[in-house]
């Protein structure tokens, strides 16, 4: 069951466990200024009773943007459910077209396609799923505006599909609990595909995204005491030069909350 609560001027989609407080973190502005970035971040701390919410720039946190490659999380679930991909071992043969990012220019499987964000793989999956079925899946999981229309290009990058940071966190919380209306085995597989780093007692599952204007970094850090969910987006007026800022800001905020070990470094 999903319901909404309004706390301290911040509306959060509360799923299964309602947060009992929402803290606007104006002090995080310094980290965004340090990196010359405009953006927002939503953090839900599952290590603390009541799952408290922290947010920087709450108005922007409710604003919808293109999900870009963060959509690969949901997209993989749809592809598995539709049967257009069988498992993480299925190979997608490279078509020989040289693309900007070198990691895209080779055969892929689900694990590598997620890791390097291989757009061409997901364009194939989108063609196989079809927009009508994709729209149905998006409505079923209550993902952003569920709009798959586009004049050209991929609907999750160049089209009308849009989602807010707070909605991203709601989606991630349901995925973490295997509470999406899709097969549990597929949810478990996708969570395995998005593992980025791990330590003795923690796991970081995350995904980046970029549509040329807005950069995302979102996911959660699992601890024995509970998960810490986060969704960050920033403007990227300097395009590629701004991309590293997503993780740099996000990791700094997570470290400040002891949600990520202090010796971890953002990757460019």
Rounded CA separation 266/268 (Å): 7
Rounded CA separation 74/143 (Å): 9
Instruction: Count the neighbouring beta carbons within 10 Å of the beta carbon of residue 60.
Output: 20
Among this protein's residues, is 225 annotated catalytic?
no
3 state DSSP class of 120 = helix
Read out DSSP for 1-28? -EEEEEETTEEEEEESS--S-EEE-GGG
Q: Contact at 8 Å (CB) between 249 and 32?
A: yes
Which is catalytic among the residues 69, 112, 154, 164? Answer: 69
Q: Contact at 8 Å (CB) between 56 and 257?
A: no
Given phi > 0 = left and psi -120 to 50 = alpha, else beta, which region is 57? left
Q: Contact at 8 Å (CB) between 233 and 70?
A: no
78-81 long-range contacts, Cβ below 8 Å, gap at least 24?
Answer: 78/125, 78/129, 78/133, 78/134, 78/137, 78/182, 79/125, 79/128, 79/129, 80/183, 80/186, 80/189, 80/190, 81/137, 81/182, 81/183, 81/186
Q: Which residues are catalytic?
A: 69
């Amino acid at each position: 069951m999903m319901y909404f609560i309004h706390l301290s001027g911040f509306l959060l989609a509360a799923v299964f466990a309602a947060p009992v407080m929402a803290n606007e973190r104006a002090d995080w502005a310094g980290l965004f200024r340090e990196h010359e970035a405009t953006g927002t971040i939503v953090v839900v701390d599952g290590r603390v009773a009541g799952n408290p919410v922290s947010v920087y720039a709450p108005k922007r946190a409710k604003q919808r943007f293109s999900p870009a490659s963060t959509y690969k999380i949901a997209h993989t679930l749809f592809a598995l459910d539709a049967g257009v991909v069988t498992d993480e071992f299925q190979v997608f043969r490279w078509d020989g077209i040289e693309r900007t990012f070198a990691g895209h220019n080779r055969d892929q499987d689900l694990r590598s396609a997620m890791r390097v964000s291989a757009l061409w793989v997901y364009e194939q999956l989108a063609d196989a799923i079809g927009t009508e079925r994709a729209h149905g899946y998006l409505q079923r999981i209550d993902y952003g505006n569920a709009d798959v229309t586009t004049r050209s290009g991929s609907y999750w990058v160049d089209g009308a599909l849009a989602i807010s940071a707070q909605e991203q966190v709601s989606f991630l919380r349901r995925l973490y609990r295997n509470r999406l209306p899709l097969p549990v085995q597929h949810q478990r597989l996708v969570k395995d595909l998005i593992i980025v780093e791990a330590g003795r007692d923690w796991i970081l599952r995350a995904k980046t995204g970029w549509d040329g204007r807005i950069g995302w970094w979102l996911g959660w850090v699992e601890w024995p005491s509970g998960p810490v969910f986060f969704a960050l987006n920033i403007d990227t007026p300097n395009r590629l030069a701004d991309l590293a800022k997503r993780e740099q800001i996000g990791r700094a905020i997570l470290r400040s909350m002891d949600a990520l070990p202090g010796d971890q470094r953002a990757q460019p």
